[in-house]
Chains A and B, each alone.
Chain A
């Protein structure tokens, strides 16, 4: 089996990388895929709590890389899904403890027995990002409909392309359809237009994301959550299904769509 390595990155911090990684991991697992999620944010371990696995951690990424633990015994199995595993970040080390080559070696081993290896990249464009980028077959770029977040997404888009890992696909997180409708927020069309990237997910702002992180049960497991449904759709697109985008509200507007219709002329 030749699993696929998908890196989730953003440039700007706090836009929803960890949330996306946790939810995609669960969605892919619930679609029957064998999945490993890796927290590459060394020093700021988070993916474990978002997935509700914090109290099961024995070893971490640096232990594996430095040979203190075997890969298999270091992977934490999810409570609900047999085929979903977490490799947590080290909490007390810094990003220099792992090299891009270490990540390639690790993921090459994981590819043999899993369909997807998701890497939660740290914010920024330094070593941690490089570690997450190096083994990637595909990069998902998470951003928010905000000037600074989109700008940073563009910056890493350039770096991803320079590393020949592009083009990345976009996850636009925390969109508020009411605000877009009022013209008070960048729409998904705007962001796609500006960044010139394909979009793989449009995730609405959803209070249930917070309660999910409080309880350590990612929002895709909540059938009432629109964000959860949207993340589920991203997972299905990742495995190649053609899933229409949810109607979050009239996000584009008639005239802009009309204008787009004429774009080819």
Chain B
């Protein structure tokens, strides 16, 4: 609620005063954790490089950001959605062989991992699709149910 109102009224604010406030927020976030912006970008790239070794994620939409309630309560918040594009291709490819899926994943430059494999094999129903934009935890849950769904799917086939 508060953040909604703040956003609503914050956005409506014009002038260099608002700019000053935004700039201060940015500068102080980095000052307070003693990590300058460029180093932070470097860290993000490294984190992503690690994740990509295990998961096929939508790199464009990955967000790793500092969140700060006040000077002593900072946290790093990451939202790492799985690749959507790949799954759409899968949906089209599903009636055919599973081999196509594997090729898609490899051509994305992603390292195959057990989880990624599960996901690829998992059927994509509508509810699954709508969760694509959710944080990693949620998608995790979806992929945890995958083996089960997988079995059902196999029976159907």
Contact = CB atoms under 8 A, between A and B. Distances in A.
Given A190-B21, A194-B24, A194-B28, A183 B5 contact: no
Interface string A243-265: 00000000000011011001111
19 contacts: A145-B20, A147-B24, A147-B27, A151-B28, A154-B71, A183-B17, A183-B18, A184-B17, A185-B20, A186-B20, A190-B20, A190-B21, A194-B21, A194-B28, A259-B5, A259-B6, A259-B9, A262-B5, A264-B2
Interface in B13-70: 13-18, 20-21, 23-25, 27-28, 31-32, 70
Given A182-B15, A183-B14, A184-B17, A263 B71 contact: no
A184 B15 contact: yes
A187 interface: yes
B100 to A, nearest CB: 50
A217 to B, nearest CB: 33
B15 A183 contact: yes
B76 interface: no
Contacts of B9: 255-256, 258-259
B17 A147 contact: no
Given A184-B15, A186-B17, A186-B20, A154 B28 contact: yes
A149 B16 CA distance: 16
B2 A262 contact: yes
A158 interface: yes
Contacts of B5: 258-259, 262
Given A182-B15, A196-B71, 16 more contacts: A145-B20, A151-B24, A151-B28, A154-B28, A158-B71, A180-B17, A183-B13, A183-B15, A183-B17, A185-B16, A194-B28, A256-B9, A259-B5, A262-B1, A262-B5, A265-B1
6 A-B pairs closest in CB distance: A183-B15, A196-B70, A265-B1, A259-B5, A255-B9, A263-B2
Given A151-B31, A196-B70, A255 B21 contact: no
A146 B17 CA distance: 9
Nearest to A167: B71
B20 A255 contact: no
Contacts of A264: 2
A182 B15 CA distance: 7
Interface string B96-129: 0000000000000000000000000000000000
A120 to B, nearest CB: 25
Contacts of B2: 259, 262-265
Interface in A188-207: 190, 193-196
Contacts of B21: 186, 190, 193-194
A121 B6 CA distance: 37
A179 B72 CA distance: 31
Contacts of A196: 70-71
Contacts of B14: 183
A150 interface: yes
A147 B23 contact: yes
A155 interface: yes
Nearest to B5: A259
Nearest to B73: A196
B27 A151 contact: yes
B32 A187 contact: no
A171 B67 CA distance: 27
Nearest to A183: B15
A107 interface: no
A131 interface: no
